[in-house]
Chain A
């Protein structure tokens, strides 16, 4: 069978030509405009920041506030304990995130099952999402963190960090499953049809065709939920787990100085910054690829 015309050469036009004076002049203009905008942005930001600092430091209560919230010596003293607490937060965060992604994806896929056979499964998944999306996290923490150990069942963990992790998984997977579901539904039905026409089973088309596209589209909102989780891991302190927040509280109780909280807050912010940048980069990439689908 003969090969039809290659159009590689026709479509791949390359511009190896040197730019004309016109193009050079316009490029120079664009660069000067860009420099100007940057300058304006930097100056206005600096002016605003300086005004804010002056306002705060000249306020009548500033010396008191500085002593109780921003004391360098207390900060330095509390740092090891708070850092040790943060290590627990990080471990809880990792364990919870893995559990949340697995359970969230499972719930989302269960909700897409069609047909009367799967009605109970779908109904359960919907009920689950309604329940755990509705209940405030702090109450869920109390109910599970104090209720479950109260049952005194054999083999059921009573460790505050473990129960806190379980609660975070239960609550967050309800949100995350909705994110996944939105992603699955955003994949055009013609994709599923194409998969089916090729003979792929429902599972194969889910795994190989639908989910890869769905997950790619929802990565930014997923990361957003991850950032929210990074802060909410601090709530396990209400169960008595000695995390960064709890460690700061213990330090504060000793010294009657709130600086340890500020230390903990700064550490949480530092933790969240990389995730935020990754989320931004992914959103930008998704936006660039928008035209694709």
Chain B
């Protein structure tokens, strides 16, 4: 692993920046699908209250990495440490680890047979044992926070893409996750809606939420990220503060990718 794959030199050891244990530490993570290797040794660290952003070409494995971190895929090699505990170990309590994370999927994945409010209140109620009334109350607050209180009783098929996306965010926040995973939450939205959703994420970041996210929105990545990781060839090819990775990348491939994305945005 090249040293540039890590946010800072010492991060591969257990303590993260500031000497405390990072919320998430991924070490040498490998994932194959059939014969193809999608992740070929990923290293990254997300410290508390930090926002780490994954960028990379389509198919570079951003979604796969997020699913692996959320223990939705079995990893083939390497470790995933959540608050210093290896949760990728088959002997570890995966369900307990999953309860401390929440993911917003690229395709929303709302439950179509439940209203927005029911989607949001489900996990607090049945997983976290929150009394129904309190769960509903919490759900209402969250829907209000994402600007959807009037749609609490609507089914997902009656909501626009951006509205569904925001319900998905509310659903993820309802479990009060230690680590929030966001997978290209704006890729299916038109520019006007992108702004709304990104605003919510910005507010979460300001509020101290620990976030690992994948995005194609370079401007947004620059705004909210503490660290940007460029995925290429199944590895973190380059990572560091957004001004550096997006503004003045060390690696030629990063430079090409950023230039291409920016060009696409402008055209």
Contact = CB atoms under 8 A, between A and B. Distances in A.
B150 A8 contact: yes
Interface stretch (A17-25, A171-179, A189-197, A240-248): A189-197
Interface string B104-118: 010101111100000
Contacts of A5: 147, 196
Contact of B127 (A6, A199, A292): A199
A199 B72 CA distance: 11
A4 B165 CA distance: 14
A199 B207 contact: no
B260 interface: no
Interface stretch (B29-37, B78-86, B132-140, B155-163): B155-163
24 contacts: A1-B207, A2-B203, A4-B146, A5-B147, A6-B147, A7-B163, A8-B150, A11-B163, A191-B109, A193-B67, A194-B105, A194-B110, A197-B105, A198-B98, A198-B127, A199-B98, A199-B123, A199-B175, A200-B123, A201-B95, A208-B122, A208-B126, A209-B111, A212-B113
A213 interface: yes
A191 B156 CA distance: 13
Residue in B113, B150, B160, B163 whose Cβ sees the most chain A Cβ within 10 Å: B113
A289 B147 CA distance: 26
A191 B147 CA distance: 25
Contacts of A191: 109, 111
B102 A197 contact: yes
Contact of A193 (B109, B127, B144, B162): B109
B160 A11 contact: yes
Interface in B196-255: 196, 199-200, 203, 207
Please provide the 8 A-B residue pairs with the shortest distance between their CB atoms, ordered closest to farther: A292-B157, A194-B109, A198-B123, A199-B99, A199-B127, A4-B147, A8-B150, A190-B109
Given A4-B200, A190-B105, 14 more contacts: A3-B145, A5-B196, A7-B160, A7-B162, A193-B67, A195-B111, A197-B105, A198-B98, A199-B95, A199-B123, A199-B127, A200-B126, A208-B126, A292-B157
Residue in B110, B146, B151 whose Cβ sees the most chain A Cβ within 10 Å: B151
Interface of B: 67, 70, 72, 95, 98-99, 101-103, 105, 107, 109-113, 122-123, 126-128, 144-147, 150-151, 155-157, 160, 162-163, 171, 175, 196, 199-200, 203, 207
A291 interface: yes
A285 to B, nearest CB: 13
A190 B107 CA distance: 9
A293 interface: yes
A255 interface: no
A3 B246 CA distance: 30
A30 interface: no
Contacts of A213: 111-113
Contacts of B113: 212-213, 216
A293 B112 contact: yes
Interface in A141-177: none
Nearest to A11: B160
Contacts of A190: 105, 107, 109
